[in-house]
Amino acid sequence: MENELIEKIKTEATVYGKALGNVGKLRLIGIVSRVLGLFLFIFTLVLCALALFTFGAVAAIDAMSAFMPVWAAALIISSAYGVLIVIAIVCRKTLFINPFISLMSKQLISSQEQLDIETLKAEHEVELQNVKLETRVENATRELNSYINLATRVWRLVAGFFRKHK
């Protein structure tokens, strides 16, 4: 009987651990997919902006080359890029870090419906397994305490019996 109870507790602890692992896995998938998706989105936007600046620079150099030498036009565009680089370095927190943090927090708070449903199911399973496991442990503890109390009473009865007949 005790062996069967211990096996049930082991089984339920295993199921509880798997349910906790499933919840963690789903949360990790949600966070990682949002982070990678946001990173790829920002990376794509940066590449498109660089391509736009490059085509604009070539067009500006071509337009200015009609009125000045090509090297002077290229120097003007290069200095404009230098100013943009200095602005990006000076304002890196307000331009890059803070918007990324705000986007990440919005992405972590609002999630996809299917992922939410699966996460809720997994959390519910964890709660159920936790209640089952706690109930089994409480029952096992109560049963063990009753056996200890029974053994204590029998011992007192036997000890009292021998004291009387001594």
Q: What is the pLDDT of residues 29-74, one digit of tens each?
A: 777 777 777 778 888 888 888 888 889 888 888 888 888 998 888 8
Output the pLDDT for position 144: 82
Residue 87 is encoded by which pair of tokens? 């602005």
pLDDT tens digits, one per residue of 75-126 = 888 898 889 889 888 887 777 766 666 666 555 444 556 566 767 777 787 7
Output the pLDDT for position 42: 80
Q: State the residue for tokens 């789903």.
A: 26
Query: How far is the CA of 130 from the CAs of 2, 3, 15, 28, 165, in angstroms?
Result: 21, 21, 10, 21, 52
Confidence of residue 132 (pLDDT cuts 50, 70, 90): confident
Dist CA 93 CA 99 (whole Å): 8
Reduce the DSSP state of residue 31 to 3 states and report it. helix
Q: What pTM was estimated for this model as a whole? A: 0.46
Dist CA 100 CA 42 (whole Å): 9
CB 159, CB 35: distance < 8 Å: no
